[in-house]
Amino acid sequence: MRYLAKISYDGSKYNGFQRLNDLKSIQKTLEDTLMIMFKKKIVVKGAGRTDALVHAYMQCIHFDLDNNISPQKLKYALNRLLPGSIAVNDITLVDDNFHARYSVKEKCYEYKIYMGEKNAFLENYAYFLPQKLDIKKMRKAGNLFVGRHDFRNFVSGKRGNYESIISSLKIKKDGNFLDIEIKGKSFYKYMVRKIVGALIDVGVGRCDILDIKKALDDYEKKSQFFVAPPMGLYLVWIKY
């Protein structure tokens, strides 16, 4: 039986989603909890590998069980055993061909920038940026990312393919918060944080909109921009 679970978590308590030896991670915590429940190793597959300190309103995972347990009972039992920083919001039975990562059609990320007076309670949940931002320029720069591009100047590490499609990028101001929402299918290591960092560079005047265009068009030439810190990043939803 294959189960799809939609979970949320406070990433400030973990070293990212992916299991990393004995380090505290979301995947390891889930697998350890399932081990307690079923007395054997159960592998959890995630829709994406969020970095350390990154949060999720909705991350998706799948795992296989020999036991025929109802999704409702499974959700109840997991939430009783998991720490308060991880919540199982929904569980459904899916076809054996379903894969939490490879079946994804679209993801939505949001990055939160806080521009008000310093607030100790937001330290782990938004990037504090007291500098004045040119939001109009940031929106113009953000439009350049929409569509199919080679994102090698906005990705960390080497890979065989850097091409991806951003379907939407919106910047919304709500009081002292600036939210950058990015939708697409494939996001690579640090990709959202590097895109946001480049937009911040434009907003504070460290670079121009033309520099963003050059980094996307002339992707063979290495360009470097600010990398936004992880605590402001949230995985918002995933569509299948």
Structure tokens at 192: 């959202």
Annotated active-site residue in 32, 51, 150, 218: 51
Q: At what angle do helices 135-145 and 191-204 cross, to 10 degrees?
A: 140
Assess whether 90 carries a catalytic annotation.
Answer: no
144, burial (CB in 10 Å: exposed 0-12, middle 13-18, buried 19+): buried
Structure tokens at 92: 């459904």
Unique residue bearing structure tokens 């091409």: 163
Structure tokens at 108: 């939505």
Strands 86-94 and 177-184: unpaired
Q: Which of 135, 3, 162, 136 is nearest to 67 (CA)?
A: 3
What's the CA dihedral at 115, 116, 120, 122 to 10 degrees?
Answer: -50
* 70 vs 39: CA distance, rounded Å: 18
Structure tokens at 134: 């040119």
Beta bridge partners of 37: none
The total number of residues shown for the chain amounts to: 240
Unique residue bearing structure tokens 């294959």: 2
Kind and range of the H or E run holding 210: helix 209-217
Catalytic residue IDs: 51
